Structure 1
């Protein structure tokens, strides 16, 4: 018998970090006034990821990952 936590873990994908190029592409699209919807459809990246990249860029001025970001 499986527990609820086992089921969730089986359904969830593994974390995969976006390349610096893709994060930069998201920011570039945002600067060209593309909506989040247009960006995630164009780049085939989840909406939440696109939103997170843009939010982090607005707050910190960088889209770098925590181990690459000097401001973390």
Structure 2
């Protein structure tokens, strides 16, 4: 019998990186004055991910992954 603490790692999903195209779509929607909530609903991506991508784009000028 497994306890809840040993089973939690099996239940957690592995996150996958968004493609450059999807990140570009997010920035494009942002430039078209769509809200983070609207972008999240359109692309079915969490709001925290959307805001992180937009923040990174504003700071670095790119959405590419950094080494």
Higher helix share: 2
TM over 0.5: yes
Matched residues in 2 for 1:40 and 1:2: separation? Answer: 35
Q: Aligned-residue CA RMSD in angstroms?
A: 1.5
TM-score when normalising by structure 2:
0.84
Give structure 1 stretches of 5+ with no counterpart.
68-72
Give structure 2 stretches of 5+ with no counterpart.
none
The count of aligned residue pairs is 66
Greater Cα radius of gyration, structure 1 or 2: 2
Moved over 4 A (4+): none
State the structure with bigger RCO (CA 8 A, min sep 6), 1 or 2. 2
